[in-house]
Amino acid sequence: MCKINIAIDGPSGVGKSTIADFLAKKYGMVHLDTGAMYRCVSYYIYVNNVNYDDPIELEQALNQITIRFDGKKVFLNGEDVSDAIRTNDISMMAAKVSSYSAVRKKLVALQQDICAEKGYIVDGRDICSVVLPEAEVKIFMSASSDARAMRRYKEYIDKGIECDYEQLLNDINERDYQDSHRAISPLKKAEDAIEVDTSNMSIEQVVERLSEIIENR
């Protein structure tokens, strides 16, 4: 099973990472979270106040960045940024920064390099279409923005974090808009990807459905 790559695309908050983690464990594969890589670049830009509208400054910044994964942890230039890249500010910024071609070029090359040996479950927005068009399994996970906002709302409430449902819904809609309207590699289901609408499914049901797809490939 580990000599294949599995590509999973889908919008923000659809649960790609959670599901990819489950599947990676189940099939003895490695989960590559490409969103975390865009978040690392955004975090670097944010902390170092990089003017990313200046192509030279952006290129210089990109040349300074190394990203390394260690299990569930992600390191940016040796610093553990696993939690720091998950803030709302960085989420909103990553949606912008990921529309720059220099950023995508660097990260896509890195992702293709990592996956060359196979055995990866890769989640993102352009994995089925751009990063791994030859992946043995290609899946597009979808869910209504209401379902995604409600899941996030419950997650926050369970953790005792105060939040506003309408605000979460607005953020999801804004990120969907940015992800699907950018000029380069917009979020879109690849023609040959299998779509799974998870709006009314539990995590267990999604894992079961995706396992079926993987095993029947």
- The footprint of ligand DC (CB under 6 A) covers 12, 34-35, 38-39, 94-95, 98, 124-127, 175, 179
Closer residue to ligand DC (CB): 45 or 215: 45
Shortest Cβ 1–ligand DC spacing (Å): 23
Shortest Cβ 70–ligand DC spacing (Å): 18
Strand order in the sheet with 30-33: 30-33, 120-124, 6-9, 137-142, 194-197
Cα four-point dihedral sign 2, 70, 194, 27: positive
Closer residue to ligand DC (CB): 121 or 124: 124
Shortest Cβ 20–ligand DC spacing (Å): 11
Closer residue to ligand DC (CB): 28 or 134: 134
**Residue 9 near residue 140 (C-beta atoms within 8 A):** yes
Shortest Cβ 161–ligand DC spacing (Å): 18
Closer residue to ligand DC (CB): 155 or 215: 155
Bridge partners (DSSP) of residue 195 are: 140
Tokens representing residue 58 in the block:
């952006």
Shortest Cβ 215–ligand DC spacing (Å): 25
Strand order in the sheet with 67-70: 67-70, 73-76, 79-80
The rounded distance, in Å, linking the Cα atoms of 106 and 62 is 8
Cα four-point dihedral sign 88, 94, 97, 99: negative
Closer residue to ligand DC (CB): 179 or 210: 179
